[in-house]
Amino acid sequence: MEHLELFFKSIFIDNMVFATFLGMCSYLAVSKKVSTAVGLGAAVIFVLAITVPLNWLLDQYILQPGALSWLGEDYASYDLSFLSFIMFIATIATMVQLVEIVVEKFSPSLYNSLGIFLPLIAVNCAILGGSLFMQSREIATLGLALNYGIGSGIGWFLAILAIAAIREKIRYSAVPPALRGLGITFIITGLMAIGFMSFGGMLTGGDEGAKKDKKSASIELQKEDINNEEAKDKTDLELAENINK
Amino acid sequence: MAKDSRLILDPLTDNNPITIQVLGICSALAITAELEASIVMSVSVLFVMGVGNVVISLMRNIIPSKIRIIAQLIVVATLVIIVDLVLKAFAYELSKTLSVFVGLIITNCIIMGRFEAFALGNGPWRSFLDGIGNALGYGIILIIVGFFRELLGSGTLLGIPVLGDPIEKTGLYALGYENNGFMLLSPMALIVVGIIIWVQRSRNKDLIED
């Protein structure tokens, strides 16, 4: 249940493009044709699914305050979290290079469709953003981190696919000359983001919303208690009156 | 000398990194709901770009071209760590608001783009000017967007109310004016930038695409 929730949340509610504007540069630059957009989107899913869990391990066992305690008691007080930017980006850059080499070796056809996008990805904010959000949202287990990586990758894929399809169609419309190209793409993305905001109502709990609900629920419970006591008092009074009669 | 001044002035208008070169948009949009955050972000990028361009330009002859991306990333990441630690030390609240977006300066395409396009082929002084110019061009858009979003969204500038008090109904609010809370939500950043692009391109017809 927790997995399913995180999965849908990272696709729709916390969509990389529409909610946090990550990876906008390549989103705008590579969305002129659907076929290239699909290639880049697939590469993003792939790389996020590898780097987020990997950076989770790094964060958990090296970077967090006290994460080095597995080396012995002397290391328990170390806090290397200031190194996280450099470690994350180094991991991402090397992984992208590694993935490129492996894919080229074992699957030339996949390399032909994905290959040219892989170098672009090392500097895509969505990839680093995925790792940084994973760290700041304190995702609990390796499985959830993998889930988060894949989910946000799919969210990004959906976004670039949608905008590429719209941009292919909009070529036939009479857009004001000054808005053509970049301007209209920005405005369409804004409108799509408004659409995606409606998914915010999909939250099923386990989030800030749920915490608030709990608070208000406990307040209501207290109120009920008070009401019950009053009711008790009333019944007691009535009983006493009856007895008196 | 005239050429050098163009390095700074061009990115401010006709070669703006955000509206023309389409670089560095991610961070430009997410943090512009308040003017203060936009200014701090612009200053951080100014620092990283100015220093980063000089460093890369000094090292341009010794970086092997095959691993230049990783080398550039390491330089930027180091500078961003400095910015992050300084922000955490002197403006903790603000660094909470900016959250991961300080870290995302690393992958800000403006920085990599200028390294690739300029610093790898030019001397340190010209690279420094180019870095400053592009960072200012980036900052100017950020500040314009932040200005309108904060003014129309919450009726304040830098946290100071300028349109009167919405609860006491003074100033503009006495005339029935209401804050447009929608401006604070993320989609409006995109639409505001879209409008800036629209205005800029209608004033200068050379910039129109296709």
3-state SS string for chain A: CHHHHHHHHHHHHCCHHHHHCCCHHHHHHCCCCHHHHHHHHHHHHHHHHHHHHHHHHHHHHHHCCCHHHHHCHHHCCCCCHHHHHHHHHHHHHHHHHHHHHHHHHHCHHHHHHHHHHHHHHCCCHHHHHHHHHHHHCCCCCHHHHHHHHHHHHHHHHHHHHHHHHHHHHHCCCCCCHHHCCHHHHHHHHHHHHHHHHHHHHHCCCCCHHHHHHHHHHHHHHHHHHHHHHHHHHHHHHHHHHHHHC
pLDDT digits (tens, 9 = 90+) for B21-70: 777 777 777 777 778 888 888 888 888 888 888 888 888 888 887 777 77
Taking contacts as CB-CB distances below 8 angstroms, the residues of chain A near B29 are 21, 24
How confident is the model at residue B25, as a pLDDT? 76
Segment 115-144 of chain A within 8 Å of chain B by CB: 119, 122-125, 127-129, 132-133, 136
Instruction: Decide if B208 and A180 are in contact by the 8 Å CB cutoff.
Output: yes
B168-188 confidence digits (pLDDT tens):
767 677 777 777 777 777 788
* Residue A206 C-alpha, separation from nearest chain B C-alpha, in angstroms: 22
* Residue B89 near residue B14, CB atoms below 8 Å: no
Taking one residue from A and the other from B, the number of pairs with CB-CB distance under 8 angstroms is 141
Does A231 touch chain B if contact means CB atoms closer than 8 Å?
A: no
Instruction: Write out the two tokens for A19.
Output: 């909610």
User: What distance in Å separates the CA atoms of residue A86 and residue A92, rounded to the nearest whole number?
Assistant: 10
For residue B155, pLDDT beyond 80: no
- On the question of pLDDT at B16 being above 50, the answer is yes
Residues of B in contact with A84 (CB under 8 A): 103
- Confidence (pLDDT) at B200: 83
Q: Do A28 and B25 touch (CB under 8 A)?
A: yes
pLDDT of amino acid A209: 47
Best mutation target among A82, A95, A168, A182 (most B Cβ atoms within 10 Å) is: A182
The pLDDT value recorded for residue A213 is: 47
Residue of A nearest to B194 (CA): A183
Parallel/antiparallel/unpaired status of strands B156-157 and B160-161 = antiparallel
Kindly state the average pLDDT of the residues B114-122. 79
Q: What is the mean pLDDT of each run of 10 residues along chain A (245 residues)?
A: 82 82 79 81 85 87 77 75 82 82 78 68 79 82 88 90 89 81 85 84 54 46 50 54 54
Sole residue written with tokens 């894919």? A103
Q: Do A186 and B185 touch (CB under 8 A)?
A: no
The rounded mean pLDDT for chain B is: 80
Residue range B83-114, pLDDT digits in tens: 888 888 888 888 887 777 787 788 777 787 78
Q: What is the pLDDT of residue A154?
A: 92
- Name the more confident of B6 and B127: B127
Confidence of residue B210 (pLDDT cuts 50, 70, 90): low
Report ipTM for this prediction. 0.79
What residue in B sits closest to A16 (Cα-Cα)?
B26
A98 in contact with B, Cβ within 8 Å:
no
Q: Is A132 in contact with A23 (CB distance < 8 Å)?
A: no
pTM for the whole structure: 0.77
